Amino acid sequence: MRAAPLIPHAFSSFGKAGRSLGAAALVAALAAGCQSRSPETTGSIGAVSTPRTASRGEVDNLGAKYSADPADVGVAMRYASALRATNQRTQAVAVLQQTALRNPKNRAVLAAYGKSLADAGRFAEAAEVLQNAHTPAQPDWRVLSAQGTVADQLGDHVRAQGFYEAALKIVPNEPTVLSNLGLSYLLGRQLDQAETTLRLAADQPHADARVRQNLALALGLRGRFDEAETVLRRDLTPEAAAANIVSLRAVVARQSSEKAAKTVSRELPRAVIAAPRT
């Protein structure tokens, strides 16, 4: 069975932002809307691994265990993970905050807490926590990737790319990190580097549909819609792929028309001033 459409819901989610902001906002919104919830991957903010799911029963069961013994780190971590999987981000942050206070040197807890803060949009706090989740002597590539996504969300794309490159030294050609790096290049309007990097990511044996989706986005932003649709058809039905491309064309066209309108509007004041009175 082919995957469900990946892009349309993201386009609808950033439609208003796309009308007033440039391509960088478009990419950021798509990354946030289409990737999974984990901030190990841009966009996504997002991980390109399979998103975790949790049932209501699992959440309730873990919640009861956590209430009985909030000092149990394993239970707290699993409970927070289940909360994140069910979009209860504020609650997940609260659980991990308390766990981190009890275990200030537990790097796994700090990493989870930092990612949870990023999930909740608290990027400055996430950056501070994540920097303590590993050390230069013992770097964790997943934490580095998470730091990169947070830096991208804070608008520091050069710093973000440094984190991704550091992660790639540990796990060369890891598709999730390459995908993040490619999206970071898109955010920085470095379209050539973005396409090259995302092609490399998509070529990796363990790349999944969301990595290929990011490549399709890069191609679409360059106006190569037919090629983007071919990429999407690897994971979607022809109808779903075509629908995604229609949405992407509309967003790109809107961005182009707004850019032209802004150029004209900059000239209008002088034309009005120079016009004779009637």
Q: What is the pTM of this model?
A: 0.78
For residue 65, is pLDDT > 90?
A: yes
- Residues 188-245: pLDDT tens digits? 989 999 999 999 999 999 999 999 999 999 999 999 999 999 999 999 999 999 999 9
6, 244 in Cβ contact below 8 A? yes
Over residues 104-127, the mean pLDDT reads: 96
- pLDDT bin (cut points 50, 70, 90) of residue 19 is very low
Q: Within a 10 A sphere around the Cβ of 147, how many other Cβ atoms?
A: 28
Q: Which of 1-5, 15-19, 34-38, 172-176 is predicted least confidently?
A: 15-19
Torsion of CA 106, 107, 113, 114, to 10 degrees: 150
